[in-house]
Amino acid sequence: MGLPNLANDRPIYELTVPSTKEVVKYRPFLVKEQKVMLVAFESKDTKQILNSILSSIDSCVEGVDVNSLSTFDVDYMFTKIRAKSVGETSKLVMSCTKCESENTVEVNLDQIELDDKNIRDTKISLTDNILVEMRYPTYVQMMKNQNLFSEDAAMTDMIFSNIEICMKSVQTDDENILIDDEPKEEVEKFVNNLNNDQMKKVMDFVENLPALSYESNFKCVKCGEHNIVKLSGLNDFF
């Protein structure tokens, strides 16, 4: 006689995907997902951690393509699923701004918000007849770029890699040129030929992507200093 089916793999909660506003159903993590993530986090390998997060979202959420989810979609969804799976709080170690002593601070995951004011028009006008359409990057796209995960990569290379990942197409009066269809050398040439004002417009998009945000307050256990810490992005919360 077989063991009973616990039926814990059925979605019971709903969330709204930030970039699309689509309402989807999800379930909490099961032990099988938590084991994969535990191994990944213990490895401290960024790519392995991201792949485990994507795999877990794929298992827990109905009707989403994790390969096309923006980075902030993934961060938001992972936080919401985790809150329903292992508790609504997470304990973080933060340093006092005055004496630098370490303090354990409890963060309420349900109070983490997505700073979505930067979800905006993705088209940037460069000239009267040329515009570039930007896109919100996915973790899948980012993991394909070695510059973003190499400890030896120069800051300039990382900046240009982020720009190229966030560019979807270049549009003229006559055609729409998809960046993914163009040789890397041609894309680099295009970016290098931007003037300062054009580059500033592009960088404004790249540097101000939507992100998780939370403001934490704590009193240092050693010196009594009142600290206000602003957290932003998935890495700050786990």
Domain boundary among 42, 69, 87: 87
- Within a domain: 70: yes
pLDDT tens for residues 6-25? 777 788 899 999 999 999 99
What's the mean per-residue pLDDT of the chain? 90
Which of 37, 60, 87 terminates a domain? The answer is: 87
- What's the pLDDT at 125? 96
| DSSP category for residue 77 | H
Does position 44 have pLDDT exceeding 90, yes or no? Answer: no
HSE-CB at 94 with a 13 A cutoff on CA atoms is 27
pLDDT at 238 exceeding the cut of 70: no
Asked if residues 139 and 50 have their Cβ atoms less than 8 Å apart, the reply is yes
Cα distances (angstroms) measured from residue 71 to each of 74, 113, 116 = 5, 15, 13
Structural domain includes residue 101: no
The whole-angstrom separation of Cα 141 and Cα 134 is 14
Tell me how far CA of residue 192 lies from CA of 142, 148, 153, 167, 186, in angstroms: 21, 19, 19, 14, 10
Let me know if residue 193 belongs to a domain: yes
Does the residue 43 lie in any domain?
yes
User: Residue 93, exposed/middle/buried by CB under 10 A (0-12, 13-18, 19+)?
Assistant: exposed
Rg (alpha carbons) of the chain, rounded to whole number: 21
pLDDT at 141: 93
| pLDDT value for 237 | 66
233 in a structural domain: no
How far is 165 from 175, CA to CA, in rounded Å? 20
pLDDT at 234 over 80: no
Q: Are the C-beta atoms of residues 123 and 133 closer than 8 Å to each other?
A: yes
**Can you give the length of the chain in residues?**
238
pLDDT at 121: 82
Q: What percent of the chain has pLDDT over 70?
A: 98
Q: Are 75 and 211 in contact (CB under 8 A)?
A: yes
Rounded to two decimals, the pTM is 0.86
Higher pLDDT, 113 or 43: 43
The total number of structural domains in the chain stands at 2
Residue 174 located in a structural domain: yes
Nearest to 91, CA basis, from 108, 105, 111, 110: 105
User: For helices 184-192 and 155-166, what crossing angle results, to 10°?
Assistant: 100
- pLDDT category, 89, cuts 50, 70, 90? confident
**Is the Cβ–Cβ distance between 48 and 40 less than 8 Å?**
yes
Q: Does position 30 have pLDDT exceeding 70, yes or no?
A: yes
Q: Give residue-wise pLDDT tens across range 159-184.
A: 899 999 999 999 999 999 999 999 99
- Is residue 104 one of the residues assigned to a domain? no
Provide φ and ψ at 45, rounded to 5°. Answer: -90, 115
Read off the pLDDT of residues 186-201 as tens digits, 9 standing for 90 and up.
999 999 999 999 999 9
For residue 154, pLDDT over 70 is answered with yes
Domain that holds residue 201: 123-207
Q: Check whether residue 70 and residue 127 sit in a common domain.
A: no
Classify residue 100: in a domain, yes or no: no
Residue type, 127: T
